Amino acid sequence: MTRSLLFFLLLHLAAAPAALGLDHTLAVRLRELSAEAFLDAIAYELRKDPAARPALDALPRGAAAAAAAGPASTQAALFDAAAALVPAAALPPEGRAAAARAIGEARAYIAPPDLPAWQESPLPEKRTPPPGLAVHRGGAPETAAADPASLRWKDADGYAASRLGPLTAVLDALGPRDRIVLSNLPPERLPLNLFGRGRLLALNLPVSGYAKRLWLLEGAGGRRTLLLGSFQGASFLRHFELLIKRRCAGKNAPSLTVAEHRAAYEPYYRALTALRAANPGALDGLEGLAAGYAESFRVYWSSYSLSSASDAAGDWRVDLYRPPGAGLWGVVSARSSYYGETLGMNLRYLVEESTGIRTVLIAGSGGSLDPRPLYSMTYPSHVIAADGSTVPNALASQADYTAHVSVHSPLEETPAWTAAALRRGAGTVDVEMAQAAAALSGLGLRLGFAVLVTDFPAERPVFARALERASLARQDPALKYGGLAGYANGVEEWLRGGPPPGWQPIEKRLGRTLAEQSALNLRGAEARLAPFSPAEQRLLERLEKYFTASPPSFSVRMSTARAARALEDEALLSTGLVAALKGNTVTPFTPGYEEEAYGAYDYIFGTLSYWDGPERYGPAVLRLGRDAWRRRAWATRRSAMRALAVEAEEAGLDLEAAAADAGTVEKAGARFASWIVVPRDLPEALALQVTEELRALPPAAAADFAAAPDEEIPALIARHDVGWLEGKIWKSARMEELELVKAPLPYPAGISVPAARLGLRLVPAK
């Protein structure tokens, strides 16, 4: 703030009545931070539209201080003063219109009241605390294990400050004699021993004031109590508890208490049913609900739009659409918040009142524990509810187990929490979906979930480049929302009978799941190979039993240089992810035909057998643990390129000509599909494969298998080159999923050092 502006603002505040109850330093800071919050909201919206961005670039330095130093007496007037400083007049007509829309969106989101930033508020003498009020000294039990001070993800302090907004100034002004109370009740419902008597100020602060209300009480002896009350959700309250603890970490801070009456949340959980009651008939006939990124549906489903219904406060809204062949759909949004469990409970109550709803979809921002491109949309295979149950995702591929979990607040995502989540198989995390899954899973609904990756809670070197561009506290809305067309259009295609948007490319091409294709292949192989001789039948049964009891390994062969890079990144990446995450130019080992056939560049390839695979791929081996490949892999007898080669030979064509011939490519695709096997079917499928391959070898090979004890089966498989599969894992694998690392002696330092740091077993390559 410039000296002249500060002097003007101090004079302006000095002339205000003493009853305002704030010292000048805090008053100045609250006003300036309010203006900053308004400008931040406007800037966020301006960044979404390239036509409006020049106005942001030309915004004068010190704009927040200039707005704060003006005569605006209410928060609404202060917002207008901040908006007036946006230099939109110099833009062309399209830019001026875009800037006006951005300012309007910011105003609608932040909803500045026509009230001053602080005002005296009467404090009723009579208190009516409800029976059963739960009081927790030090914080809510659910967050007792969280330690926000130990967070290590990027800009955690900036994130906390951005969510607290101007409230940071109040928190910084409090001392150890003061206290903080978080409650879902207003002052008149709290007991005197928790919220006493004195001068009460209502704080009307942007960002930190929505979905709750703020009061500052000055009691006897100058002791102050900051009340964050009337919270509209239990998770939201706990989120702010952790935000405050992060802000106060390492300081001589006030005491903190949570006072909660669960029944007081119910009106907020019934906002959608209240909306339905206020709009009779408007929501009748709904077949599905979608929540999250409503603005994308307004753009990409605009031709299917019918109407909208809102509640009396203009807060909750349902946009109605009828995509061809998909029935009537409602897309839910809320100006205030449906943070945490609030969304799931609202959807549950509406579904219970509207018996025709059969599908509910939820999309939102989340953190990725797995390597994924920033602002990419991901579809976890399952959501792990709070009770530990898993809810399948109707929008996702079930061939790759990538679970989703939820927290009360991102400030729970400490290194200890992240390690535990990874052990559970979690790949993404947010603050709403698991609560919604728990609320909705018993209603017989088809549930779908989509996560837009906006941050990376796990500390991994592979995330470094993405984190140069963004964090939870600093995001690029143009990039963030730019990819949502794929989500809205993918959902539409699915509703009209197409594949789910989260299916793997091979599943979309086949029109069925990998598990369904594997089952078809298993039945086909049995029919094709029958009848079996008595010796073959005995061997089949023996092999299937052995493969069930002692499954093969998933070994990824590579050069020592690539192994060192994977250990340095703390992630094993597909070719596509190396380019997307690290920006490196990659020359794929996999032929381009395979990329065209099923998106091969997005897979990690390995040998699924009892040996480590062909040595031509390199001397180093990263071996995945059994649980990892059983949950995440699928396999084929050979590669898609091999399928093309077989068809080319039968057609009398060379490979280049075969790849250019549509009929041959179609046959090669069918052959490749006939080789697909998923882990569930692997023991029987692999036993059939070995039996078939032995038929093509001299009888002595089958005799070797018949005579050998079970423990020699792996050696026989390697010796006769039978019974191995090309395994595939989508996108990436974590270091936590590795069983061991093999490298030639003497171990290169680029492998031995990170392997020791990561606790990986390192053994000599033979």
Over residues 372-424, the pLDDT tens digits come to 999 999 999 999 998 889 999 999 999 999 999 999 999 999 999 999 999 88
pTM > 0.85: yes or no: yes
Q: Is the pLDDT of residue 586 over 80?
A: no
Q: Dump pLDDT digits (tens) for 659-678.
A: 999 999 999 999 999 999 99
Read off the tokens for 622.
Answer: 């990263």
Question: C-alpha 307: how far from its chain's center?
Answer: 30
Assign 215 to helix, strand or coil. Answer: strand
Query: For residue 588, which phi and psi values (nearest 5 degrees)?
Result: -65, 140
- The CATH number that domain 271-501 falls under is 3.40.50.1580
The predicted structure's pLDDT at residue 584: 74
The predicted structure's pLDDT at residue 576: 92
In this prediction, residue 18 has a pLDDT band, given cuts at 50, 70 and 90, of very low
Query: For residue 635, which phi and psi values (nearest 5 degrees)?
Result: -145, 165
Task: Find out whether 692 and 526 touch, Cβ atoms under 8 Å.
Answer: no
> From CA 679, how far away is CA 548, in angstroms rounded?
10
Question: C-alpha 676: how far from its chain's center?
Answer: 30
Q: Dump pLDDT digits (tens) for 701-710.
A: 999 999 999 9
The predicted structure's pLDDT at residue 16: 43
The predicted structure's pLDDT at residue 6: 42
> From CA 293, how far away is CA 338, in angstroms rounded?
13
Three-state SS annotation for 642-676: HHHHHHHHHHCCCHHHHHHCHHHHHHHHHHHHHCC
Q: Is the pLDDT of residue 167 over 70?
A: yes
Segments making up each domain of the chain, as ranges:
3-116, 121-266, 271-501, 532-635+710-764
In this prediction, residue 21 has a pLDDT band, given cuts at 50, 70 and 90, of low
721-724 contacts: CB < 8 A, separation 24 or more?
722/689, 722/690, 722/693, 722/694, 722/697, 723/609, 723/610, 723/686, 723/689, 723/690, 723/693, 724/552, 724/607, 724/608, 724/609, 724/610, 724/611, 724/613
Q: Considering only CA atoms, which of 267, 212, 434, 446 is closest in space to residue 341?
A: 434
DSSP line for 293-346: -HHHHHHHTGGGEEEEEE-TTS-EEEEEE--TTT-EEEEEEESS--TTHHHHHH
Beta strands, E only, 161-212:
179-183, 199-203
Which spans in 473-532 are helix H?
477-482, 484-495, 505-510, 514-529
The owner of tokens 């809810």 is 391
Task: Find out whether 201 and 120 touch, Cβ atoms under 8 Å.
Answer: yes
The predicted structure's pLDDT at residue 15: 40
The predicted structure's pLDDT at residue 17: 39
User: Among 52-61, 425-434, 466-475, where is mean pLDDT lowest?
Assistant: 466-475
Strand order in the sheet with 118-120: 118-120, 199-203, 213-218, 224-229, 179-183, 255-260, 134-137
